[in-house]
Amino acid sequence: MANENLVKDVVREKEPYKYGFVTDIETEKIAKGLNEDIVKLISKKKGEPNFLLNFRLKAFKKWQKMKEPNWAEIGYQKIDYQDIIYYSAPKQKEKLSSLDEVDPKLLETFDKLGIPLTEQKKLTNVAVDAVFDSVSIATTFREELAEHGVIFCSISEAVKNHPDLIEKYLGTVVPASDNYFAALNSAVFSDGSFVYIPKGVTCPMDLSSYFRINSGDSGQFERTLIIAEESSSVSYLEGCTAPMFDTNTLHAAVVELIALDDASIKYSTVQNWYAGNEKGVGGIFNFVTKRGKCLGKRSKISWSQVETGSAITWKYPSCLLLGEESVGEFYSVALTNNLQQADTGTKMIHIGPKTKSTIVSKGISAGNSINSYRGLVKMGTKAAGSRNYSQCDSMLIGDQASANTFPYIKSQQPNSEIEHEASTCRISEDQLFYLQSRGIEFEEAISMMVSGFCRDVFNQLPMEFAAEADKLLSLKLEGSVG
């Protein structure tokens, strides 16, 4: 069959990873390796208060006693944690009072990535926090946000300017000892974003962080903390890219979300880290712990993610549904191609009564990749009247890729309902034939079908993101579909 041959052609991306360039900039790096002194040094460089240093040291001690998890369906070469640089920052003046003082090379880099930061060009209606290796370079629209009482800055600035909030909330959703990578992050996190939405405020614009790894031998360990006070709401977007290196780079981030009574947080990610070449050389190891706590009554946390990059993805954005009638949502598209491996999913832990959660996960595996959905839905003894609905669909492209589904379901509450369904399919030849017979080219037809397959998730993304995600998927699959 004609299509069959094209299927074999698959697996090669026609257009190389366009974000794979390296910015040649003078950076300040500390020595490789990890020990207590390095942890102290990172804290000192950032001029942190004592409570944070203690937090880091405690986490480091715990990390030393922990073992790297091996339960996920991923295989990779052992990571040498002593061969990583834990702090790398572009050299610049200590404090930047305005964007004019940011190294133009950096601004140019973000411009190239499609994230213009300068006053004239900056995106309208989206405030951006740009993180380059270990530090935050610039945050746009700060004054406008401040008028509404919204705090949006790098976490290092928040430590200096709002230590009380950091001390109160840091590590309350993802404790330092939560897992191996969260402990590592807690010990060495360098920067990240901090968002605080005061009571009753609907954030006037979307907030966005853009993470860029530039250095090949340093890891990136950012930490994001978002707090939505009573009756507030915010939509937060996250994007990531990295240059092409033959070595693997470690990315171990932690994201903590806290929603109080009637608050709502929408967290969207388009992850496009460098995935390695078609032989599986290089690429980012993406080990991320993301968790939201619906503390308040009727609070809502919604995760939506489009995962297309990284050599390895290990990521389970979760919701702890504590408040009565709180709502957790997870919408995900994970695409793997070539030798990428993704083990991703979510955890919905229903603790409070009348809590609701929805999971929609779409996995697309092409090439020789492995794409697994792993999820947990748990109804605790007090979660009376709670409901969960999960749907996990996988699409297989080519006969070398693998799609796995591992949903764990646990209920201790008779007055609750859990529904889970999963299906696996491939692009149907009938549909392809139909589209082709109407003059639509083969690849375009595939791309239409993939985007139709993912529509439930794209509908949940903010508009600009949805368009970008759609484009990204067809780009990633170009020449690789059958």
Partner 1 sequence: MEIIEKITTNKLVENQTEIQKICLHKLQSSPLPNPKSELWRLSNKSKFSNLLDYSINEKDLKLDTPYPKNSQSTIRLIIGENYQIKLIEENYSIQQLSEDELDKFMKEQISFFDQNENWSDLLNLSISCKKNILGLKINGSKIPPIEIFSHSSTNSFNAKTLVIFLEKNCNIELLQVNLGKENSSLSQSTFFFLEENSSLKHGVVSYGESGSNLLNSLNIIQQKNSEYKLGSLHFKFNYARFEINIKQSEGSAKTKIKGMQITKKDEQIATYTKIDFNGPNGFLDQINKSLADDKSHAIFEGSIIVPKIAQKTDASQLSRNLLLSSLAQIDTKPQLEIIADDVKCKHGATISQLNEEELFYMRTRGITLAEASKLQLSSYFQEIISFIPVSKDRWDLLDKLLNEN
Closer CB to partner 1, residue 37 or residue 429? 429
Binds partner 1 (CB under 8 A): choice among 310, 416, 460, 480: 416
Question: Does 379 participate in binding partner 1 (rule CB under 8 A)?
Answer: yes
The first and second tokens of residue 424, run together, are: 């696996």
Q: Which of 346, 312, 352 is CA-nearest to residue 332?
A: 346
Contact 482, 6 (CB under 8 A): yes
- The answer to the question of residue 8 lying near partner 1 (CB under 8 A) is no
Element (H, E) at 37: helix 36-45
Which of 393, 481, 478, 482 lies closest to 18, judged by CA?
Answer: 478
Residue 407 in the binding site for partner 1 (CB under 8 A) = yes
* 410 binds partner 1, rule: CB under 8 A: yes
234 belongs to the binding site for partner 1 (CB under 8 A):
no
Position among 412, 434, 441, 471 found at the interface with partner 1 (CB under 8 A): 412
The type of residue at 367 is: G
432 binds partner 1 per the rule CB under 8 A: no
3 part of the interface to partner 1, by CB under 8 A: no
Structure tokens at 3: 């299509």
Sorted by sequence, the CB contacts under 8 Å of residue 202 that are 6+ apart come out as 232, 233, 234
List Cβ neighbours of 407 (8 Å cut-off, separation of 6 or more).
Answer: 345, 373, 374, 375, 376, 377, 390, 392, 420, 422
Of 168, 188, 165, nearest to 176 (Cα)? 188
Smallest distance from partner 1 to CB 477, Å: 14
Beta bridge partners of 335: 364
| Distance separating alpha carbons of residues 155 and 40, to the nearest angstrom | 17
Output the smallest distance, CB 408 to partner 1, in A.
5
Candidate residues 404, 431, 436, 451; the one interacting with partner 1 per rule CB under 8 A = 404
Residue selected from 397, 432, 454, 457 as contacting partner 1 according to rule CB under 8 A: 397
- Contact with partner 1 (CB under 8 A) among 398, 468, 469, 476: 398
Give yes or no for residue 172 binding partner 1 (CB under 8 A): no
Query: Binding to partner 1 by residue 408, rule CB under 8 A?
Result: yes
Q: Give the whole-angstrom CA distance, residue 437 versus residue 46.
A: 62
Binding region for partner 1 (CB under 8 A) out of 136-144, 170-178, 299-307, 394-402: 394-402
Q: Does 321 engage in binding with partner 1 (CB under 8 A)?
A: no
Site string for partner 1, 34-63 (x = CB under 8 A): ------------------------------
CA 469, 239, 335, 389 torsion-angle sign:
negative
**CB of 399: closest distance to partner 1 in angstroms?**
5
* Shortest Å distance, C-beta 389 to partner 1: 10
Binding-site size, partner 1 (CB under 8 A): 34
Select the span of 88-96, 333-341, 406-414, 434-442 touching partner 1 (CB under 8 A).
406-414
Residue 418 CB, nearest distance to partner 1 (Å)? 4
Q: Are 242 and 442 in contact (CB under 8 A)?
A: no
Q: Which whole-number Å values give the CA distances from 434 to 2, 92, 428, 429, in the listed order?
A: 15, 58, 10, 8
In whole angstroms, how far apart are CA 218 and each of 154, 249, 305, 410? 20, 7, 25, 40
How wide is the angle at C-alpha 224 spanned by C-alphas 218 and 226, nearest 5°? 175
Q: Which two tokens stand for residue 105?
A: 């090379």
> How many angstroms separate the CA atoms of 282 and 421, rounded?
35
CB of 276 to partner 1, least distance (A): 20
Residue 359: CB minimum distance to partner 1, A: 12
213 vs 396 by CB, closer to partner 1: 396
Does position 101 bind partner 1 by CB under 8 A? no
100/421 with CB nearer partner 1: 421
CB closer to partner 1, 125 vs 415: 415
Q: Which stretch binds partner 1 (CB under 8 A): 252-260, 341-349, 411-419, 466-474?
A: 411-419
How far apart CA 76 and CA 215 sit, in angstroms, is 21
Nearer of residues 197 and 333 to partner 1, judged by Cβ: 333
- Kindly state the smallest distance separating residue 113's Cβ from partner 1, in Å: 34
Contact pick of 3, 400, 431, 451 for partner 1 (by CB under 8 A) = 400
CB neighbour list of residue 320: distance below 8 Å, 6 or more residues apart: 173, 291, 292, 293, 294, 349, 351
CB of 204 to partner 1, least distance (A): 42
**Selected binder of partner 1 within 426, 455, 475, 478 (CB under 8 A):** 426
Q: Say whether residue 9 binds partner 1 (CB under 8 A).
A: no
186 binds partner 1 (CB under 8 A): no
Closer CB to partner 1, 15 or 430, in the complex? 430
Beta bridge partners of 341: 312, 370
Strands (DSSP E) found in 125-280: 126-132, 135-139, 151-154, 193-197, 206-212, 223-228, 233-241, 248-251, 254-259, 264-271
For the CB of residue 8, give the shortest distance to partner 1 in the complex, in Å.
Answer: 12
Q: Name the residues that contact partner 1, by CB under 8 A.
A: 379, 381, 394, 396-426
